[in-house]
Chains A and B, each alone.
Chain A
Amino acid sequence: QQQVRQSPQSLTVWEGGTTVLTCSYEDSTFNYFPWYQQFPGEGPALLISILSVSDKKEDGRFTTFFNKREKKLSLHIIDSQPGDSATYFCAASALEEGADRLTFGKGTQLIIQP
């Protein structure tokens, strides 16, 4: 089964600090990499995504980096806030397959300490 590996499993960061979450994947046909944010009691919500033709995408305090050669991606959160405390999932898919069939990592539980 195709795998997406995510680390760390849990992470605590002080308020104002920079959070870094990482994922790696195996299938070289993957070309679409979204990150989802999930709060307790809610469904995952799309946070930011990147295509394999890019190596960086920014959205406010959130930036995702993609390294095709190493098959790795990362999510950076600058000026981390207590409201960013959530579980984060990376995912991957091969859009040419005609379906947005995502393979998810197991998630990182992030706590931002005030």
Chain B
Amino acid sequence: EAAVTQSPRNKVTVTGGNVTLSCRQTNSHNYMYWYRQDTGHGLRLIHYSYGAGNLQIGDVPDGYKATRTTQEDFFLLLELASPSQTSLYFCASSGYEQYFGPGTRLTVL
């Protein structure tokens, strides 16, 4: 089974703050994804990538940047965090089936 790790697991920041969420997968999957999960909305795709240097826009990209530096590492950047970005963030990777990390709970005060 694919191994996907995320850091930090919890993060608190203030409005306007700068936040970077990290994700690493160790199974050489080509595709990696960032989702946010909110009550009543399920999982919504923010950005995804099919390889180092590649970035594709998801369904809810506003306010988020992402960068895939290597096959293993995918970062989500919030440069001016807002309270509306308080959420549970999941990273996933896939070759055929998607495997999720444990999540990062972000609170923007």
Residues in A lying within 8 Å of B, measured CB to CB = 1, 6, 34, 36, 41-46, 49, 89, 99-102, 104-107
Contact = CB atoms under 8 A, between A and B. Distances in A.
Interface in B89-108: 90, 92, 94, 96-103
Contacts, number: 48
Q: Which of B4, B43, B56, B103 has the most CB of A within 10 A?
A: B43
Contact of A42 (B43, B48, B96, B103): B103
B43 A46 contact: no
Main secondary structure of the interface of B (DSSP, over half): strand
Main secondary structure of the interface of A (DSSP, over half): loop
Interface residues of B, number: 23
Contacts of B44: 104
Given A1-B59, A99-B50, A100-B96, A42 B102 contact: yes
